[in-house]
Chain A
């Protein structure tokens, strides 16, 4: 993946939206969340799936962080991880903010 050095930082007030190219769903046969796109599929790891499950075009980045902090109270630095992942997801064109 190329560097994100030039991309603007993601801020808590932004609202991520799934790019219309992708469909997000739980896939029983994969036992994971996936992103489906024309003729392809990305199998998401646990944390990535948890974040994208909350990307609905309504929740802000702050809302997503808050929800996941409440769900995983023992996970340290979860806010940083979420921001990093959203940055990656933006770079992959999975989401726009």
Chain B
């Protein structure tokens, strides 16, 4: 597939030379999406909607090679993600290699498939951190959204076990219109579990979540209430000497300026998907850009020299209003995926920006959130994914 557009800046086209490549940082963060397989069916999953068409997972040896190469380039954080990374039978071996290489390793899991023994074995192998994600504090909402009845009890038990075995505890709650009103119960649950960090992250509308946005986006009133309650808890807990850190992430749909997505394209993050495709962010696969594969190129080539990673580095690619905007170095024009999904052109300004000529799309989504009637979510599973594969 061809790229979405060549930068037209009035200059004669030149063969790319090293000096014309914009500067960029090191891939400090390596996200290893080990598999797209998952026992849950969360309707806000960030995986591509056509994941069922991606086959041929990297082998153990291929992953270890990826870890080794990325470490050489400066990667320090390694996230084991998916799908559900616990599905990979070689996970413990990958953890051990990550530790040997000097990574700080993070297991990002639903907790389904985890048990006391595995938590201990992973610790022994050198895993630094397990992040258990929750759907809501209320078992019913949690189970409804995860598409599993046993999920909540299991998550709770595993969260307790993670803490008991000496890991730092970071809890991640994905919030949306169905659970954001329970924010007080969510925070109380985190306090009870003695979490060190809590991320109350409102759904980001990519992948399955974009398909289900209508069913997920909270109203402004819901959001403001949740933020106020969170602030009150934060103050109260700090006054009581509780060291818990609560991070509240607002959905950018209620902002007037876009987020500085991924700290800039190809600046810090490197995602490798189950089949070895390398991406500057885990959502970028949706873009009409050819991304390199670790089976065909070295990580050094991918990070420093591939078209996929250089595509949105620097500011040359920008269109108006970004090109002449004095905030472009702060937000890099926002999110390329969001620009592409909503406007059809990944070079456009992220429509979250009130300067964007497409900002009305965001306003429309906010207005839709005010309406009571909402369609049934499309659950993330193989069967539904195959519908997307067919297009």
Contact = CB atoms under 8 A, between A and B. Distances in A.
A27 B197 contact: no
B168 A38 contact: yes
A29 B26 contact: yes
Contact of B128 (A23, A27, A29, A34): A23
B161 to A, nearest CB: 16
B166 to A, nearest CB: 6
Interface string A3-43: 00000000000000000110101010110001011111100
A36 B243 contact: no
Given A21-B196, A23-B104, A29-B26, A36 B74 contact: no
A38 B129 contact: yes
Nearest to A35: B104
Contact of A39 (B26, B77, B196): B77
A21 B170 CA distance: 10
Contact of B76 (A21, A27, A93): A27
Contacts of B166: 20
Contacts of A20: 166, 168
Nearest to B166: A20
Contacts of A41: 28, 76-77, 104
A25 B128 CA distance: 13
B243 A93 contact: yes
B76 A29 contact: yes
Interface residues of B, number: 20
B79 interface: yes
Contacts, number: 42
Interface string B143-174: 00000000000000000000000101010000
B164 to A, nearest CB: 13
A36 B77 contact: yes
Contacts of A30: 74, 76
Contact of B168 (A21, A27, A34): A21
A29 B29 CA distance: 13
Contacts of B74: 29-30
A39 B106 contact: yes
Interface string A40-80: 11000000000000000000000000000000000000000
B102 A25 contact: yes
Nearest to B199: A39
B189 interface: no
B73 interface: yes
A48 B131 CA distance: 29
A40 B243 CA distance: 18
28 contacts: A20-B166, A21-B168, A21-B196, A23-B128, A27-B76, A29-B26, A29-B73, A29-B76, A30-B74, A30-B76, A36-B76, A36-B77, A36-B104, A36-B128, A37-B104, A37-B168, A38-B106, A38-B128, A38-B129, A38-B131, A38-B197, A39-B29, A39-B77, A39-B106, A39-B131, A40-B77, A41-B76, A41-B104
Interface of B: 26, 28-29, 73-74, 76-77, 79, 102, 104, 106, 128-129, 131, 166, 168, 170, 196-197, 243
